[in-house]
Structure 1
């Protein structure tokens, strides 16, 4: 039956549910009585239970302008079964032919698609929320939203089930959220809170929310989550219930490696497993044995040839993502820096052989403890004021981390302990505390103090050294303000020269820094284009050295001084445009010259249409610093990202994503001193909602012209990676992957080829 014929029939079945169900001022759940049939998750709201579930339809517009009446009707109903919350959401649309519903990978439901989303805070304090987005095509994105940073992390996955049905006047969604996937206190918790949102991507993207009091002036997007009524004694009934999930995986791999020393071939079968046990509501125990993370997507390429400091990459491995908010925030703040990674950076754990973790969550406190064995192969970082040195990790190490947090109304205080033991007396330990204080509706203070000691150091060649115990500290205090007129972030920090954390990310030390970022809100404006929002921006920063006799660094040297006035505005098609003038100063090495850099930066981000669904471009041009040559010259750094989605005959969908990066600086003679390039192409053919074929091709190249005047030799370094994979995926329950990976690097002429098959099941 075609969709055109099927739609009216489904609509006729669904109408009694909305006609007979009572309306509710807040989202209200209906507890199914014993013997009542739970709805079938097929996207059709025609099951008998929906006829009696209260209907909530009090939605307000949040984007492009907040506190406006919603123009499209949306209704929400909630059912409670023995083991899950089930959301039924109906989205009316006066132009259903314009609904954007492409097939997409998990965690790729973005602003270019029609979707509904559910945010749940089972703790009830509106500090964090679990969320799931469901597109009109049934694609899912899920993760955690943190109020302290007002950011989302789509890496965590929950075992949710969702289905959608297209209707003649919109679409409907059923979302089943197992109680086992929710994290809440055993006793004393606040009422569960929820918010439902609906995204409508047309010429002017519209985002409607069920929390009508939510405004863009608040400190976070989840500041106005509303109580979910109707749960009654649900928490008391399920808090003692135990849930166990077991995920065995089998990986078959054939590899061939070749370099100047010859060719080596291996064949290996690897059996691993993950166990998740929730003995009761407030405890979660995670265990992993011989996990295989080789099929995690390639990290997005970064231009690294002209930087002095190590670059961080996001976490994507499942074991580390359970209750990530208890470990601590992992998203960068609005200045682009990520101070929280100094405490625990999971990508410092390279190849776990086994791991064990316990997480507890109470009404006013929470804690997590983990211990694992890392087979090694990653990097050890030792930072300085002007550069980060790196060395190869030893073959095996033990990593331990613990953090506990106490919440006292608007004040939250946490303590942490971290240890990395590489054996042979090489250890690094960190203890510290962090905190956050909500000083009213517009102001937030955050900070931390970390103390480290280590017996591991690196020599000039990156070789590990055993040294007498070296101690260091890292202190940071930040203030965030947001109201209807302006936003401000002010940070001050000090990182002593010998601060180290081998379970964390430390790319600079021996400095004292002050920074500020301010946005003056000008509101809607009409200047060449209709601006939905507009802001003037100013970024200020100064970093100075602390005395470091070991590296020969004198105190008080300016490492960088940034003055960057700019602007930002939002327009149609979810378009954001920004720019700034960089009146900056940089020093590349201790005792070197403080260079004057003068640049102009412009950026754009947009959802142009259904075919070209996303476009992002940023370019900085002017007098830029050449770090290795210790001079400035005319140069450019540019990054481009484009995403295309297109339907194909037979119900297939094609995704194509392209990332390009380019950077260069000219020498004094006007010729190119160096060029840094990176590209990544991703093609995904969706054969069905469960089956896809994915091809990734990625390469980077850094070239430098020899320059005897600054004692620089010629360079030509290249790396290439390609991966072809077929994947059959049914949520988190069943994943089968077959593929081929190839990689090469020069100089060195190293090559790697891998054929693999991997199967993961869930019980």
Structure 2
């Protein structure tokens, strides 16, 4: 099973306890200290230079350790962090010393694309102080910002949220320095009884060994990256002094859009101006209110195309729209990572909201509890999913609907309990309601249990033509329980789940129902002293390795409406394999698949045998990321309900290139992704070919100005045979956008998008210009 290298780099740390911490070369009592600005003090200017007088007085914290590629080692390069605080900001001054400054990777990139292939420093802040979640910001050596939220429950990082940060970098003869101003208005913390704020700083050095240094005594035998964040000393009563501070941001946006749609011989043209607005109001530290009116998402990047021709189930896509990204850790925005498996709660899937006319949301955080609620008016035009054991039916959302969701959560030191309510009302007696309970329990430093129970009631159905109709109420449930264990020797997870046939969640993501399933992932960590032979075999120094075994089975629950009997095996997986990490942040994995799959109710349970191989690496400054995956062997052709020889190949490369002859600060960010899958018929010719390609190019003219081009294509071809008609489906899109951005709240964009689809001779062309300006109070 492949482990994401980015998640690996910044997602593997929980302290192994006092005994393990005592073994680390970390000074006892080391703690970052802040300097409070007093009357007459001059706050530093954010220019990346640590030359103001205040930095000569601020305490220096330089107790950093190596965390990647090998932990428990002293940091090979010095890094220092200083913190200055006033009643409006935390200001960080970070000095990254480097004996080889010419090797620093400092290319311009898009916001939120600061990865381990670049030199960067990272600041993680937990203003609640409970180490359950933390806001973070990465600042590359080129001054690019990536920000988001860490969550401890699922050991994940979400880059979707954006904060109003200001950062600057200065290159120096012996490294670089960073200044980061973090407004206290962007922090979320309790009004009363809050714990001390916590901090961790990390530094990435992408050389041969791809170093990651951290300012806390972390180890890899981990449940969560943020569990050992340290208290920030010297802040005193700052939280109490600023908890009454309020702010109000109003961001009107004006958009001009001209469209030309052609469907066969019919052509429709339209040109219009629209005015929208977003509002963010924080009346005090623990409350945030967001509102949106007629939002326009023309600047949002196109979704990456996925292979969908040989699957029975709906595919999830990540959220990128700003309104939905406030406090995502509270709402429980989970992503489906494998059919039926969920990372996070996944009870609210914001992409189910297609075109909101207006929306309002409120979020509250206390010392041991938090809650959020939202309601939106959706203009429709999207898809409503209705799942079964062998596929996901997709119906057009033809009506305006009201979507409402609320979740609250109480948390103690090791125990968390939550409840939620979700409603989708389509009018005319058609609705979907969901109630749920969820919980988590951290059983010591190595084990965590999580679970949820969701119950639905649905009166929104569809007739045989797919038209929406009111139906007699159908009820269903979804029960899920997971266990995660991480120690020096093992990293294991297990899930059990049951989803009843009539369970539906129109505000969530449900791709399969009417099933019971169980899965187990066992990862046996190889002792460091045993890695030398593996390094000799691979010709690289190997830093980590695991023997892996993945087991999974999905079976049916009786569903008379779809003709499904109880106890049919839909899927069975047995995947033994290995994984290791070597130089240049290179991870390699391989496993054998001894699988069985059934394509339809009452059909044959087909045996499948494949070899799966993958790798990811940061090879060079210009080739910042290269990854590949290969599945080869006997694969299932779902439509034909048979097995044939086939393959699935994925290649992705990310390049960062200087542009000779142009200003030195100009650079090109280029990403290429190619994916293709096929299965052959018994006569050895291909039964189908499924492909997707994406090219993304960004010309950076300055940190504020860029031109982005995205070219995408998809194709699915199937040969005709006795029971199947010939198919040739093609889709293409091209997007070109220029953007000038001043921080988060002021921008101007102009662009064009063209898309086509065959058959049907569909052509869609769109031109737009958009201006956003934020007024603050």
Q: Shift of the alpha carbon at 1:467?
A: 1.1
Give, in whole Å, the separation in 1 of the partners of 2:512 and 2:743: 40
Give, in whole Å, the separation in 2 of the partners of 1:560 and 1:663: 20
Residue aligning to 1:698? 712
Give, in whole Å, the separation in 1 of the partners of 2:265 and 2:338: 47
Q: How does 1:38-57 map to 2 (within 5 A)?
A: 38-57=43-62
SS of equivalent residue, structure 1 residue 422: strand
Q: 30, 33, 43: which is aligned to 1:28?
A: 33
- Where structure 1 has 5 or more consecutive residues not aligned to the other structure, the ranges are 1-22
- Where structure 2 has 5 or more consecutive residues not aligned to the other structure, the ranges are 1-27
Q: Deviations over 1:698-726 (max 9, x none)?
A: 01000100011xx1000001111100111
Residue aligning to 2:757? 745
Q: 125, 142, 151: which is aligned to 1:146?
A: 151
Q: Deviations over 1:550-581 (max 9, x none)?
A: 11110000000000001100000000000110
Residue aligning to 1:650? 663
Residue aligning to 2:5? none
Instruction: Say whether residues 1:195 and 2:197 are aligned partners.
Output: no
Q: How does 1:374-385 map to 2 (within 5 A)?
A: 374-385=378-389
Indicate conservation of the 8 Å contact 2:280/2:290, yes or no. Answer: yes
Indicate conservation of the 8 Å contact 1:24/1:54, yes or no. Answer: no
Indicate conservation of the 8 Å contact 2:618/2:626, yes or no. Answer: yes
Give, in whole Å, the separation in 2 of the partners of 1:512 and 1:241: 50
Residue aligning to 1:716? 728
Residue aligning to 2:565? 554
Q: Deviations over 1:341-396 (max 9, x none)?
A: 64110000000000001100000000001011000111000000001001000230
Instruction: Say whether residues 1:121 and 2:135 are aligned partners.
Output: no
TM-score (norm 2): 0.94
Indicate conservation of the 8 Å contact 1:617/1:638, yes or no. Answer: yes
Residue aligning to 1:476? 480
Instruction: Say whether residues 1:755 and 2:767 are aligned partners.
Output: yes
Residue aligning to 1:337? 341
Indicate conservation of the 8 Å contact 2:483/2:493, yes or no. Answer: yes
Indicate conservation of the 8 Å contact 1:341/1:505, yes or no. Answer: no
1:384 to 1:599, Cα distance in 2 relative to 1, 3 A: same
Give, in whole Å, the separation in 1 of the partners of 2:299 and 2:410: 37
Q: Deviations over 1:107-133 (max 9, x none)?
A: 010000000000000001111110000
SS of equivalent residue, structure 1 residue 319: helix
Q: Shift of the alpha carbon at 1:509?
A: 0.2
Instruction: Say whether residues 1:584 and 2:598 are aligned partners.
Output: no
Instruction: Say whether residues 1:172 and 2:172 are aligned partners.
Output: no
Shifted more, 164-173 versus 638-647: the winner is 638-647
Indicate conservation of the 8 Å contact 1:342/1:501, yes or no. Answer: no
Q: How many residues align?
A: 738
Indicate conservation of the 8 Å contact 2:190/2:365, yes or no. Answer: yes
Residue aligning to 1:136? 141
Give, in whole Å, the separation in 2 of the partners of 1:437 and 1:457: 38
Residue aligning to 1:228? 232
Residue aligning to 1:19? none
Give, in whole Å, the separation in 2 of the partners of 1:57 and 1:341: 38
Q: How does 1:2-401 map to 2 (within 5 A)?
A: 25-211=30-216, 213-331=217-335, 337-338=341-342, 340=344, 342-401=346-405
Q: Deviations over 1:623-642 (max 9, x none)?
A: 00000000010011111110
Instruction: Say whether residues 1:542 and 2:553 are aligned partners.
Output: yes
Q: Deviations over 1:239-280 (max 9, x none)?
A: 011111111111111111111251111101111111000000
Residue aligning to 2:18? none
Give, in whole Å, the separation in 2 of the partners of 1:332 and 1:390: 17
SS of equivalent residue, structure 1 residue 276: strand
Q: How does 1:731-742 map to 2 (within 5 A)?
A: 731-742=743-754
Indicate conservation of the 8 Å contact 2:168/2:178, yes or no. Answer: yes
Give, in whole Å, the separation in 2 of the partners of 1:335 and 1:51: 55
Give, in whole Å, the separation in 1 of the partners of 2:464 and 2:760: 21
SS of equivalent residue, structure 1 residue 279: strand
SS of equivalent residue, structure 2 residue 548: strand
Q: Shift of the alpha carbon at 1:339?
A: 5.4
Q: Shift of the alpha carbon at 1:37?
A: 1.2
Instruction: Say whether residues 1:429 and 2:433 are aligned partners.
Output: yes
Give, in whole Å, the separation in 2 of the partners of 1:76 and 1:336: 44
Q: Shift of the alpha carbon at 1:488?
A: 0.8
Instruction: Say whether residues 1:406 and 2:418 are aligned partners.
Output: no
TM-score (norm 1): 0.95
Give, in whole Å, the separation in 2 of the partners of 1:608 and 1:50: 37
Provide the alpha-carbon RMSD of the alignment: 1.3
Give, in whole Å, the separation in 1 of the partners of 2:739 and 2:497: 46
